[in-house]
Structure 1
Amino acid sequence: MNDVNELKQFAGVHARGQQIPNYDKILDRIHHDGEGSGSWVGEWIRAAEKLASRNLHLEASRHYTMARFPFVDGPARQYALEAGVMEFDRWRVSEEHHIYPLDLTVGSGQFRCWTTGLSTTKPRPLLLIMGGIVTTKEQWAPLLARLGKFGIAAIVTELPRVGENSLCYDSHSWRMLSSLLDAVADRADVSRTYAMNLSFSGHLALRCATEDPRVCGVITVGAPITEFFKDRQWQSKVPDLTLNTLAYLTEIPRADLGNALSDWALSADQIAALNIPVSYVASTQDEIIPPSEVRFLRKHARDLQVLVHEDVHGAPHHMSETWPWCLASLFRMLDNRSLRGAVFTALWIAQRTRRRLTSTGY
């Protein structure tokens, strides 16, 4: 059983990111993490089913996704996962967003991606999008639909053992990204690949970039780099939800995580050898990622931009500023003179100014 208070605490960033209105009313009805009325899964599924009955497929998918949160631990959350993917599939087909599935097999595992902009006749620069250890690929639907209009190809997928990804999450998982690039090399300009990978998938992207020169830039929010994996004292304060999820994804007993994860840390030499731009969003009150990660990057990364928010992990209260900044970073990486980059930079400045004026009472 998950701690319901922790579930509610971390639900905010995912509910806001999926633009779920009045999600707090659903949270108020939740009192336990079992099944049925008043449970986490039961209340989110009940809300999802009402939306599905009105053919609001994307909205239903989002609610099913929240029912599955943080990971599949039994039949109820497995049902929520499958129903969420089904409703997403109905949405993408009915609304003709030019989003297409891509299923890949790597070793003994499989994973599914959602794609847009792939073309054998006109291969475009590629953007890889991944969330963290509790984020499914369907959560990125609106962004994927928009990116198809920006002259780039984009692929959304999941970390190993998240959602429909059956690969095991281990220190070699970065190879999954290289395998994905190999698979679409005939439909995208993979020599110009950029990763917008958040939280733990940001670590995955940076690790891949140390080996695969096709990764030309990384944009991430609250990614572990080195100290998270090595600092046992910090790990002892990390929320149970995070550690339990990591134990599930890695198939490592929670008591053994500290020893097992120490080998995942990126070294100063690895970061210093990256001759690519890195954009990193940090939160001063992050309860998962230690503040030393940003100091480490500032000291060793060659080309680094940092945006700092006074917020918790994922900066849920600053999304209106974070996403324009991330997209501005992407288009600057693609083309330093990009008009879209300038537009998103202006939007970020406007949002930041608005927040500051609001906070000072003007």
Structure 2
Amino acid sequence: MTYPFPVDPENLFEERTAQFVNLGLPSDEVARLRAAITNMWADAPGGWTWEWSRLAERYAAAGEHYLASLAYGGARFPCLADPAKAAAMDRQVEQYTLAAQGFPVGFERRTVTVRYREAIVEVRVHVLSPADAGADTPVLIASGGIDTWKMDLHPMWEALALGAKVRIVAFEHAGVGELTHIPMAADTQAIIGGLLHFARTLTTGKVGHFGLSFGGYFSAQTGLRGDADAAVVLGGPVTSATFGPEHAKNLLYGMADIFGNAVGFTTRPDMGALITAFESFALDELLTTQDNCPMLVINGDADVHVPIADTTVFNGRQNTQVELIPGGSHCALNKLDQIMPIMINWIANALHP
């Protein structure tokens, strides 16, 4: 368990309504929740998790298991900082697994054993495969950020699997989701190295890494080091300016405390401690190298969390395509109709012979 923190639910709805709707929840239900929720942490009527969970229960009772999983994903948003949110994520897994019977892709829930700091780490992954997947079908390991996790992004995984003809291994990086018990750090990239190794056991073809938001931080590491055959960075923070004190002090919508939860603080840290943790992630030194695999770097030009410079810093790199989406929010999730074709085409070209 990590820690709750002050945040206005209305501010979260202001920022995330488009994301909730674009990822599959009916807009009228999101609007109803927005009007009903007045407290982020109260496990009672008007509380965030309570209201989202009631919606999820209604969907589950009607046999709408996928919608129930999305609603439970909303209930546990943005981090597992209290027992009610942890319980909501458990129910999200349950409903998502039930919904998988109707997916147009094959589904397996698997446990991958990797090593991190000499310890054994069990990583729960979801493997999504096109119906015609074979031994040479490329694999794309894929993760979201510090508040949007593997089950929340199912529509994206499904579209990439079917459109780019790849097998998806969806996971959460350290500090979030089913790996909340392992604090996120720059060197938790080692866990992702283990997942890349696992991915290579699933195919005789190529392996890529897709990361959204803070997941993009880790896919940027993979890409810059050349650890995969291709890497997609969607809205990933990378530079010391972004991981510096001034940016940390001005983070919006509770993001500083969402990050604080991910890196393992169990009580709310002071700004000095948060900044020290923040600064340890900067990739400036790695950005000076030229050993990258083919990379696609995308973000919206209206991202309130990650500055434009963290996308344009990739301009001019070898084997790198950079796309800055006009009017795009964080990760351009309000422009999915624009970014999905770009990503599908690029991934297909990068991973297929």
TM-score bracket, normalised by the shorter chain, equals 0.7 to 0.9
8 Å Cα contact 1:227/1:292 also seen in 2? no
CA distance in 2, matches of 1:7, 1:110: 32
8 Å Cα contact 1:135/1:162 also seen in 2? no
Pairing 1:310-349 to 2, within 5 Å after superposition: 310-335=327-352
Tell me the amino acid that sits aligned with residue 159 of structure 1: H
Pick one of 112, 129, 133 that aligns with 1:117. Answer: 129
Q: Is 1:280 the counterpart of 2:297 in the alignment?
A: yes
Tell me the amino acid that sits aligned with residue 29 of structure 1: A
Pick one of 167, 191, 203 that aligns with 2:182. Answer: 167
Shift of 1:182: 2.0
Tell me the amino acid that sits aligned with residue 294 of structure 1: T
CA distance in 1, matches of 2:84, 2:241: 32
Deviations 1:41-66 (A, max 9, x none): 11111111110000100000000000
Cα–Cα, structure 1 residues 179 and 44, in superposed 2: closer, same or farther, change >3 Å?
same
Shift of 1:335: 4.6
**Structure 1 gap ranges (5+):** 337-362
Cα–Cα, structure 1 residues 203 and 110, in superposed 2: closer, same or farther, change >3 Å?
same
Deviations 1:244-264 (A, max 9, x none): 011111114352121223232
Shift of 1:21: 0.9
Residue 264 of structure 1: SS of its match in structure 2?
coil
Q: Is 1:187 the counterpart of 2:194 in the alignment?
A: no
Shift of 1:290: 1.5
CA distance in 1, matches of 2:254, 2:233: 21
TM value normalised by structure 1: 0.84
Tell me the amino acid that sits aligned with residue 284 of structure 2: S
Q: Is 1:198 the counterpart of 2:233 in the alignment?
A: no
8 Å Cα contact 1:229/1:264 also seen in 2? no
CA distance in 2, matches of 1:188, 1:125: 6
Q: Who is 1:30 aligned against?
A: 37
8 Å Cα contact 1:271/1:300 also seen in 2? no
Q: Who is 1:156 aligned against?
A: 170
Shift of 1:93: 3.1
Pick one of 57, 66, 72 that aligns with 1:64. Answer: 72
Deviations 1:74-115 (A, max 9, x none): 111111111111000111135574210111233243321100
**Structure 2 gap ranges (5+):** none
CA distance in 2, matches of 1:230, 1:148: 33
CA distance in 1, matches of 2:213, 2:189: 14
Pairing 1:95-134 to 2, within 5 Å after superposition: 97-106=105-114, 107-117=119-129, 122-134=135-147
Residue 139 of structure 1: SS of its match in structure 2?
coil
CA distance in 2, matches of 1:98, 1:305: 32
TM value normalised by structure 2: 0.86
CA distance in 2, matches of 1:117, 1:123: 12
8 Å Cα contact 1:130/1:201 also seen in 2? yes
Report how many residues are paired.
334
Residue 188 of structure 2: SS of its match in structure 1?
coil
Pick one of 242, 245, 249 that aligns with 1:232. Answer: 245
